[in-house]
Amino acid sequence: MADARSPGRFDLAQRRLYLCTADRPDLASFVAACIRGGVDLVQLRDKELDARPLLARARVVGDVCRDFGVPFVLNDRPDLALEAEADGVHVGQDDAPPALARRILGPDAIVGLSTHAPAELDAAADEPVDYISAGPVSPTPTKPGRAGTGLDYVAYAAARAIRPFYVTGGVTPSTVGDVIAAGARHVVVVRWLTESSEPEVAARALRTALDTALSST
């Protein structure tokens, strides 16, 4: 990866609002609107697309993010992240191991890892990752069949995580205050933005609520 696209340029500790989106017809304009509203990290996560269509859509998101100076992460596929010149990859517990993703993408790439339980979070301390996600706090359609972890897991992550952690699951302007009060400093948003008819307005409302909660900690 080129130096200009490394984690050194993108201080994840200062990246607070992380959009995770599937492909959609208005992908470029949607991502741009979310970034204008306050999103500062973007992931494309689409479990339906085959490799070549996913690569094409990843390049679309990458172009938008590059224009705004926002890091772009592709879900699950370090090989396609490399080909798309993404800034990194996010893997789950059953996806490619973080060590393999690191070997494929190199030392400068962003590598993220999902965790859903204390044992997974503790094990992540030994993985070559730059951040972890923690959750989902509440059950969510994006993780069918997975029970919510509750805010106790957020508190556990706040006490034990040695890297930035992003809380997932049901984040909205009305819930983000409780998530921050439990110890989070970074959140992932999906449906609040993907289901909005005005994503820039929705992103701005969430960003305002997030910043307000953070300012009181």
User: Which residues belong to the active site?
Assistant: 45, 114, 143
Q: Any idea what the Cα angle at residue 205 is, between residues 203 and 208, rounded to 5°?
A: 105
Interatomic CA distance for residues 93 and 124, integer angstroms: 10
The answer for residues whose C-beta is within 8 angstroms of residue 32's C-beta and 6 or more apart is: 64, 67, 68
Sign of CA dihedral 128, 131, 135, 141: negative
112 DSSP β-pair partners: 90, 131
Q: Which two tokens stand for residue 152?
A: 């106790």
42 DSSP β-pair partners: 19, 72
Which segments of the chain are extended strands (E)? Answer: 17-21, 41-44, 72-75, 88-91, 110-115, 131-134, 165-167, 187-189
